[in-house]
């Protein structure tokens, strides 16, 4: 198979972190609106699961979104990395009653941190260059 575009879909939110997803447009769609969407769905309170949607069509999307091109890649490389990187577990936990015990800083994980880890794995595997991490770092977070 030949390389195809890898895109970042950003679904903005005024109150919460924007939802991020990877998108591989179908080579048979000249408009690049149909393809495979890969993302971590859930919340820091309940945890996330990785979802592969092979028949995703952006024409059917009712949410606003933005697309950022990340590069050209073999689809198998993206799917391999997405299957290796574990979805974030529950990271938002209730505080203890009475506030006793040591306080510790909690690192919240979400779809953005998962996607960044997947792209980092793709870079480690040599399928994309380091510059893609700069693109992610400058992408809108809300």
Q: What is the mean pLDDT of residues 129-139?
A: 97
Q: Taking 90 as the threshold, does the pLDDT of residue 75 lie above it?
A: yes
In terms of Cβ atoms closer than 10 Å to its own Cβ (0-12, 13-18, 19+), residue 17 is middle
Q: Taking 90 as the threshold, does the pLDDT of residue 92 lie above it?
A: no
Q: Note whether 5 and 32 are within 8 A (CB).
A: yes
pLDDT band at 91 (very low <50, low <70, confident <90, very high): confident
Model pLDDT, residue 108: 83
What is the distance between the alpha carbons of residues 142 and 138, in angstroms, rounded to a whole number?
12
Percent residues over pLDDT 70 in the chain: 89
Q: Taking 90 as the threshold, does the pLDDT of residue 2 lie above it?
A: no
Query: 111-124 and 131-138 helices cross at what angle (nearest 10)?
Result: 170
Q: Taking 80 as the threshold, does the pLDDT of residue 103 lie above it?
A: no
Q: Note whether 25 and 8 are within 8 A (CB).
A: no
pLDDT, tens only, 25-66: 999 999 999 999 999 999 988 999 999 999 999 999 999 999
Q: Taking 80 as the threshold, does the pLDDT of residue 9 lie above it?
A: yes
Q: What is the mean pLDDT of residues 9-24?
A: 95
């Amino acid at each position: 198979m030949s390389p195809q575009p890898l895109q970042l879909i950003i679904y903005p939110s005024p109150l919460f972190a924007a939802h991020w997803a990877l998108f591989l447009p179908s080579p048979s769609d000249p408009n690049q609106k149909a393809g495979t969407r890969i993302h971590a769905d859930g919340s820091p309170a309940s945890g996330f699961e990785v979802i592969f949607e092979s028949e995703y069509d952006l024409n059917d999307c009712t949410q606003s979104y933005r697309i950022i091109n990340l590069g050209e890649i073999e689809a198998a490389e993206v799917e391999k990395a997405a299957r290796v990187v574990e979805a974030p577990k529950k990271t938002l936990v209730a505080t203890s009653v009475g506030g006793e015990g040591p306080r510790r800083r909690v690192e919240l994980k979400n779809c953005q941190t998962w996607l960044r880890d997947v792209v980092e794995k793709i870079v480690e595997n040599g399928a994309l260059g380091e510059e893609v991490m700069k693109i992610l770092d400058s992408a809108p977070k809300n």
